[in-house]
Amino acid sequence: MPVGKMRHRINIQTISRVADNMGGNAHSFATSITVWGMVETLVGSEKVEGDQIEAKQRYRFTLRYNAILTVDDRLNYDSKNFRIISIQKKYDIDKYQVVIAEEGVAT
């Protein structure tokens, strides 16, 4: 992978859950690490539901391998939040990983 393509700053954010006063859980995300990566736009979609337009856009993030990243985390890039759909090793080695993530959905 040419180093020049890994030029985007991507925040990996982990979720923390705290019990609230009503017996439920409140959650928030905090940046745990910032990494360099490559970002590619994949496919997008729009649909009307409840008289509102719902737009979703999928992206492929290529990152250096990071063992702490899970599908419960989210990515933050260019001030936008992305829900992680899948994480795969690239070339079946622990050097790079490909993350498919979606913008425009609740995290």
pTM: 0.81
pLDDT of amino acid 69: 93
pLDDT of amino acid 17: 84
Report CA dihedral (7, 98, 81, 34) to the nearest 10 degrees: -50
Cα 49 off chain centre by: 24
- Which stretches of the chain score pLDDT less than 50? none
